[in-house]
Amino acid sequence: MTKTIAFILVGVILFGCERAFFEDEPEDTYVSNFEVFWSEFDRNYSFFELKNIDWDSLYHVYRPLAELAANDGQFFQVLAKLSLELKDGHVNVISPYGVSTYDFANGERPVGAENVKPYLYNVKQAGSSIEYAELLRQNVGYIHIKTFGGDIEDYEKIDDILEALKKEDGLIVDVRSNGGGSTTKSQTIASRFADKERLYLKVKYKNGPGHGDFTDWDERTVSPEGPSQYNKPVVVLTDKKTFSASEEFVLAMRLFPQVTIVGDTTGGGSGNPILRELPNGWVFRLSSWIAADPDNNTYEGIGLVPDIPVTMVAQNSLDDTDYALLEALRVLDNE
């Protein structure tokens, strides 16, 4: 039971997901654990039809492997490899033998703090989630949103941050390598840039055992909030590690007339993960809805294309130049 609690806590801390557990625990064997794992996905996973995945076929491939597993480590590898077949960054198996994670960024090297730091001065922290600064070369403010997890108080400081940067002629909002978190927190930030109420996201929830069983579309809007709205030019920086709730932030921000999106296509993770537990105490998570933009375009596994693409693919690993940031400065200089 101690291991079970530890794994659940890891999942909640890392992923901030919904918890749901079995009332009647099946027998704890590799085969029974596999059956629970496969069946939970079969009933609740949201992307089988969208991704054209034959889940029944994968059952017949991986169940014999579960039967042949000689120890827990081998069994973990069976579940991990099956989960990776879904190519979904919101699907994980959490065990004492590791956490299975799909690399939606394909190993691409993200821009790190060492790349951005030479361009900034007067850097300040707003809790653990946000830092802000001024640019050395021109009158531009910079806000780095590291995550949309953490404390809501961090995000409620956005009004103070914008007040501190109000003398600048424009603003760069950096959500590169932001793996997501809470829709509420991403919407809190986006609302300070909204010119009017706008529909930015549609979601439909898995609600039945069939792979095509969903609710009707639920529409999400963002509206102006806070003491004032920021209407000067804004550039939002994205990359392949911009994921989940940070993509919802991009969906909202790209609708506002003063905003330009610069960088790489986002990660394409839209699944709203929920947690489940296996009889052996391991925890796994799976996507539970389908999300789309206002025109019903889904972006799971595809990502959101920026207005001005700046990719890292051709960049030498020894080159620390932040090309996307330089392009953002060019955009703001021409506004």
Give residue-wise pLDDT tens across range 106-163. 766 777 667 888 899 999 999 899 999 999 878 999 999 999 999 999 999 999 999 9
Alpha carbon 256 to chain centroid, angstroms: 21
Please name each of the domains of the chain with its CATH number: 2-99 (3.30.750.44), 113-194+229-268+303-333 (3.90.226.10)
Residue type, 48: F
Which pLDDT does position 106 carry in this prediction? 72
**Sole residue written with tokens 């629970």:** 36
Closest by Cα among 251, 240, 235 to 311: 240
Q: Up-side HSE of residue 68: CA atoms within 13 Å toward CB?
A: 7
Count the residues in the chain: 335
Highest mean pLDDT among 24-28, 110-114, 273-277: 273-277
Task: Give the lowest-confidence range in 5-19, 57-71, 181-195, 318-332.
Answer: 5-19
| pLDDT at residue 312 in the model | 67
pTM: 0.88
Instruction: Give dist(CA 65, CA 230) in Å, integer.
Output: 56
pLDDT higher than 90, residue 22: no
Question: Which DSSP state fits 195?
Answer: S
Residue type, 219: E
- What's the pLDDT tens digit per position in 55-97? 999 999 999 999 999 999 999 999 999 999 999 999 999 999 9
Provide the percentage of residues in the chain whose pLDDT is more than 90.
81
> Quick one: which of 278, 272, 298 has its CA closest to 207?
272
Cβ contact 324:112 at 8 Å: no
